């Protein structure tokens, strides 16, 4: 008997029992008028989290101890794997990643049960029941279909090792963030279920759900960016986003979640879009489950996907149940979800936010359709078409550009209604400045229309946001001066973030989006790609750089299953001055000789990345090198850091109502009701 496997399996089974109890107890507590049953169900969620944590600890211990009597450990780890990568091996394959997902979900539900449920007595029982249902649904495949605690059929002295593509320290952050982000979509879902079941459809549930939705959105966003960073630095194809089916699955829940965070503002202020907002929260969760099904079913081919298994169809059933439950609840409560007020004018921020939702949901539909189309193509005539970056760039490009324009417009347009003079005053300078920049860029030779629109829109976002900060800080300084203590500009600026973190944190996210957009445009439209074939002692030029190659070097692997790295050192100069020494190569693994991986040579600067990998070499050590000059890529990562910072600031609770600046709006007509 293997103690770790026994403890792990027993923990999962017991956690499953606790989850089912939470589900049943949560449902029964109300009709039976047994609040003690509801309380027991809530506590069962916490116990389940402890048990899944125990199971996770058992698997982690087995990995760290090289316990190859457990089949999963044999398949994903080896004795020479470094400790951090043994930790990453935890979620590197089907069963382990399911356990990790369930573990994160269980921990989130425990936090939810301890922190949030006591604050929502109106919906505690249904929230606990829904949480129990979701957790049970995740634990069932772990208990009966894809247990990571199955014992090996025969004893092995060493394991197979980690998948070569995953032998990278980035695995310590990218998958946990992404899986955590996907798992966290469950909390807004259960809160929506609770709100509908309890009939509390006013602003109460919004106040409760917002931090959870914001956290989910933030973690999902960071996870997706980290995925791009991993692809860029590890996969060796010169880019960071390939519209791979699994990448698409990861970004799909992010789109409705982003839409949700924007449209809840309309519900908060005007009591509108109640049905829509609930639908968005449900859609984000459904798409997260769809992604799980997509990755684990073998439905689509991807470099990320796990082997085909019975788990895939199971998640399709789970998806169907989630959709049906959501639809039934929404239909049941639809009469209570009517808007409390109307739009006063189309020229309002509410309208812009509705268009924002339109664009985000259209994007989700396009990505969803493009991801699944190969399946339908194969069903139609037996041949599977590839829907790749060319298609997605073509159709998503205009939508993303429209979204950029909308971000700038939405920052300028006031809530409720704007008189024409107000609009003219607000738009005058951003439009003039943007037009001036567009003219300058065009005169300088920027002829690509999408690049021009994108860069100018990004500038407009930065311009209008800077103006918002400037106006707010100026008002703070004036207010301070009136009380005899005028703050410095920096203090006034930081005071804005402190006073209204949600608004100004959101603005920072918008600026970050603009920075990232410029980086994406520059690195895709103005990317330079070339191929060099070099014999030892040769030099060649590309894009103003000179590459000198002296011959192949071999480094024997010492850990992580690496047999050897074959390196082609390149000395790079520009204008006679040394720039860097790059070491692109190929990495060969002992147990996966047919799966060599790329070793990317990368030199980053604020203006451009020099990105090199080798395609192969001849017997006479002649190497074939791919060279990319990717402008401004580093700003994608800087923008992502700004994005995360803005999201974290927005996460902070409001300290006081924003009094810095009131929206300039036309007088509200007497007929308007609501917020």
Least separation in angstroms between CB 318 and another protein:
25
The secondary structure of 36-83 as a DSSP string is HHHHHHHHHHHHHHHHHHHHHHHHHHHHHTT-TTBHHHHHH--TTS-H
Phi, psi at 129, each rounded to 5°: -60, -45
Nearer to another protein, 379 or 482 (CB): 379
Looking at the DSSP bridge assignments, the partners of residue 540 are: 547
Least separation in angstroms between CB 544 and another protein:
7
Nearer to another protein, 271 or 506 (CB): 271
Nearer to another protein, 211 or 530 (CB): 530
Q: Which residue has the tokens 């991986």?
A: 597
Nearer to another protein, 13 or 366 (CB): 366
Least separation in angstroms between CB 395 and another protein:
5
Nearer to another protein, 537 or 544 (CB): 544
**Beta strand pairing call for 623-631 and 528-534:** antiparallel
Least separation in angstroms between CB 77 and another protein:
25
Q: What angle do CA 153, 158, 164 make, to 5 degrees?
A: 105
Nearer to another protein, 133 or 238 (CB): 238
Element (H, E) at 2: none
Least separation in angstroms between CB 617 and another protein:
11
Least separation in angstroms between CB 276 and another protein:
9
Beta strands in 458-544 (DSSP E): 528-534, 539-542
Instruction: Give CB contacts under 8 A, 24+ apart, made by 328-336.
Output: 329/193, 329/196, 329/197, 330/196, 330/275, 330/278, 330/279, 330/282, 332/196, 333/196, 333/199, 333/201, 334/275, 336/199, 336/201
Nearer to another protein, 104 or 278 (CB): 278
Least separation in angstroms between CB 477 and another protein:
17
Closest CA to 76 of 302, 84, 335, 85: 85
Least separation in angstroms between CB 241 and another protein:
11
Residue 42 contacts residue 18 (beta carbons within 8 Å):
no
Kindly state the tokens that stand for 555: 């480094």
Nearer to another protein, 484 or 575 (CB): 575
Give the CA distances from residue 170 to residues 7, 156, 305, 338, 340, in Å, rounded to whole numbers and listed in that order.
30, 29, 18, 47, 48
Q: CB-based contacts of 536: which residues, under 8 Å, 6+ apart?
A: 549, 550, 551, 552, 621, 622
* Cα 583 from Cα 229, distance rounded (Å): 19
Pick left, alpha or beta for residue 576 (phi over 0 → left; psi -120 to 50 → alpha; otherwise beta): left
Nearer to another protein, 350 or 500 (CB): 350
Least separation in angstroms between CB 301 and another protein:
4
């Amino acid at each position: 008997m293997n103690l770790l496997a026994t403890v792990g399996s027993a923990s999962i089974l017991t956690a499953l029992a606790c989850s089912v109890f939470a589900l049943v107890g949560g449902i029964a507590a109300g009709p039976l008028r047994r609040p003690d049953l509801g309380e027991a169900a809530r506590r069962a969620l916490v116990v389940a989290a402890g048990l899944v944590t125990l199971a996770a600890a058992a698997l982690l211990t087995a990995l760290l101890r090289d316990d190859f009597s457990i089949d999963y450990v044999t398949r994903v780890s080896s004795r020479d794997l470094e400790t951090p990568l043994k930790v990453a091996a935890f979620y590197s394959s089907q069963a382990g990643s399911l356990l990790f997902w369930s573990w994160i979900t269980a921990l989130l539900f425990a936090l939810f049960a301890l922190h949030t449920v006591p604050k929502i007595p109106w919906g505690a029982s249904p929230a606990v029941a829904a949480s129990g249902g979701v957790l049970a649904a995740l634990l069932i495949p772990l208990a009966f279909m894809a247990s990571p605690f199955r014992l090996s059929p025969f004893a092995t002295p060493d394991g197979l090792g980690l998948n070569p593509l995953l032998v990278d320290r980035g695995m310590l952050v990218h998958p946990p963030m992404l899986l955590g982000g996907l798992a966290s979509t469950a909390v807004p879902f259960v809160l929506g279920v609770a709100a509908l079941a309890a009939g509390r459809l006013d602003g109460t549930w919004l106040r409760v759900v917002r931090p959870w939705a914001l956290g989910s959105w933030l973690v999902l966003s960071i996870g997706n960016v980290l995925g791009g960073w991993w692809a860029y630095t590890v996969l060796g194809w010169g880019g960071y986003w390939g519209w791979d089916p699994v990448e698409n699955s990861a970004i799909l829940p992010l789109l409705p979640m982003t839409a949700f965070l924007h449209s809840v503002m309309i519900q908060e202020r005007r009591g509108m879009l109640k049905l829509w907002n609930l639908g968005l929260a449900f859609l984000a969760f459904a798409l997260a489950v769809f992604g799980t099904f997509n990755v684990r079913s073998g439905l689509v081919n991807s470099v990320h996907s796990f082997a085909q298994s019975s788990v895939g169809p199971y998640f399709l059933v789970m998806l169907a149940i989630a959709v049906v439950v959501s639809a039934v609840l929404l239909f049941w409560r639809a009469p209570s979800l009517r808007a409390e007020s109307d739009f006063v004018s189309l020229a309002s921020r509410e309208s812009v936010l509705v268009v924002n939702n339109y664009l985000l949901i259209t994007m989700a539909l396009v990505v969803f359709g493009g991801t699944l189309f190969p399946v339908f193509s194969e069903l139609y005539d037996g041949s599977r078409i590839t829907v790749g970056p060319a298609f997605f760039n073509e159709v998503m490009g205009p939508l993303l550009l429209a979204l950029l324009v909308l971000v700038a417009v939405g920052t300028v347009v006031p809530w409720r209604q704007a008189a024409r003079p107000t609009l003219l005053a607000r738009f005058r300078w951003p439009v003039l400045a943007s037009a001036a920049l567009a003219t300058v860029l065009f005169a300088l030779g920027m002829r690509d229309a999408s690049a021009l629109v994108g860069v100018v829109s990004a500038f407009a976002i930065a311009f209008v946001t800077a103006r918002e900060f400037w106006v707010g800080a100026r008002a703070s300084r004036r207010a301070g001066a009136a009380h005899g203590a005028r703050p410095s500009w920096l203090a006034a600026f930081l005071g804005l973030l402190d006073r209204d973190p949600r608004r100004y944190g959101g603005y920072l996210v918008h600026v970050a989006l603009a920075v990232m957009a410029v980086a994406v445009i520059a690195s895709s439209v103005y990317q330079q790609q070339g191929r060099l074939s070099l014999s030892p002692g040769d030099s060649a030029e590309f894009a103003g750089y000179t590459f000198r190659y002296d011959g192949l070097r071999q480094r024997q692997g010492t850990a992580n299953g690496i047999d050897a790295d074959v390196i082609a050192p390149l000395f790079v100069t520009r204008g006679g001055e040394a720039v860097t020494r790059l070491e692109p190569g190929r990495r060969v693994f002992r147990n996966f000789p047919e799966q060599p991986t790329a070793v990317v040579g990368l030199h980053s600067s604020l203006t451009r990345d020099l990105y090199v990998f080798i395609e192969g070499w001849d017997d006479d050590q002649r190497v074939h090198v791919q060279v990319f000059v990717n402008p401004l890529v580093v700003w994608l990562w800087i923008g992502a850091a700004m994005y995360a910072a803005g999201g974290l600031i927005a996460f902070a609770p409001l300290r006081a109502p924003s009094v810095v600046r009131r929206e300039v709006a036309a007088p509200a007509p007497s007929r308007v009701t609501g917020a």
